[in-house]
Structure 1
Amino acid sequence: MRVNCVGAIVLDDARRLLLIRRGHPPDAGRWSLPGGRVEPGESDAVAVRREVLEETGLEVAVGPLAGTVDLPAPRGDTYAVRDYRATVVGGTLTPGDDAADARWCTREELARLQLTTGLLDTLRSWRVLPT
């Protein structure tokens, strides 16, 4: 089964990338983009705004689709993830929901963090890494 999911690629004014440390499986303890499942009846934009707010305390305006990726999910399912560019419009950075932590990261810091599998290569291929 394909599970519809969304994620957010958010850069601040200093060109740092917003990441969350996953608090639950899959990939608990690893850093990733904020995001999650699209709930029944939600548009992608509504899901992105909800997930970012729940996981980071930040309100975002959702921009264009940056890319899509299929990731393995439990029980042989597939997470069909659509990642969107987004811009912070309010809120205060505070980890919540299933995020154990949340932070802004420079390009150099990304190389040192334990990221979810394939994240760095995917962001590089989409040309959305911080400069």
Structure 2
Amino acid sequence: MRVNCVGAIIFDASDRLLLIKRGHPPGMGLWSIPGGRLEPGETDAAGVRREVLEETGLHVEVGRLAGTVDRPGPGGVTYVIRDYLASVSGGVPTAGDDAADVRWCGLDELARLPLAEGLLESLTGWGVLPS
């Protein structure tokens, strides 16, 4: 079974990436970009806005599709994840929903954090990380 998911790639004015620490499986304890499953009938853009607000307390404007990845899930599920660039339009970063923590992370810090599998490779491959 394939499950449609979305994620948000958000940078601040200092080129720091917004990350959340997963509070539940899959990936509990790992840092990733905010996102999750689409609800029935929900558009990608609406899903990105909802997931970011639920997990970080931030309102975002959704930009272009950065890339798509397939990740294996429990019970033979495949998560089809479409990650979009987004920019903050309001709110204060506060961990919520299934996020145990939220933070802005400099590129030099990414290599030192326990990141979700394939995250850094995908962001690098899509050419979305600031140089």
- Band the TM-score falls in, shorter-chain normalisation: over 0.9
TM-score using structure 1 length: 0.98
Q: Secondary structure at the match of 1:112?
A: coil
TM-score using structure 2 length: 0.98
Which stretch of the first structure deviates more once superposed, 119-128 or 81-90?
119-128
Counterparts of 2:27 and 2:64 in 1: how far apart (Å)?
Answer: 26
Matched, 1:84 2:112: no
Letter of the structure 2 residue corresponding to residue 16 of structure 1:
R
Gaps of 5+ in 1: none
| Structure 1 residue 130 displacement after superposition | 3.7
Cα deviations by residue, 1:33-59 (Å, 9 ceiling, x for unpaired) = 100000001100000000000000000
Counterparts of 2:43 and 2:25 in 1: how far apart (Å)?
Answer: 25
Counterparts of 1:8 and 1:19 in 2: how far apart (Å)?
Answer: 10
Q: Secondary structure at the match of 2:50?
A: helix
Q: How many residues matched?
A: 131
Gaps of 5+ in 2: none
Cα deviations by residue, 1:12-39 (Å, 9 ceiling, x for unpaired) = 1111000000000011000001000000
Question: Residues 68 and 80 of structure 1 are in contact (CA less than 8 Å); yes or no, is this contact kept in structure 2?
Answer: yes
Q: Secondary structure at the match of 1:120?
A: helix
Counterparts of 1:41 and 1:3 in 2: how far apart (Å)?
Answer: 13
Q: How does 1:21-100 map to 2 (within 5 A)?
A: 21-100=21-100
Where has structure 1 moved over 2 Å in runs of 4 or more? Answer: none
Cα deviations by residue, 1:78-105 (Å, 9 ceiling, x for unpaired) = 0000000000000000000000000000
Letter of the structure 2 residue corresponding to residue 76 of structure 1:
G
Q: Secondary structure at the match of 1:123?
A: helix
Q: Secondary structure at the match of 1:40?
A: coil
Question: Residues 17 and 130 of structure 1 are in contact (CA less than 8 Å); yes or no, is this contact kept in structure 2?
Answer: no
Letter of the structure 2 residue corresponding to residue 50 of structure 1:
R
Q: Secondary structure at the match of 2:108?
A: helix
Provide the identity percentage. 68
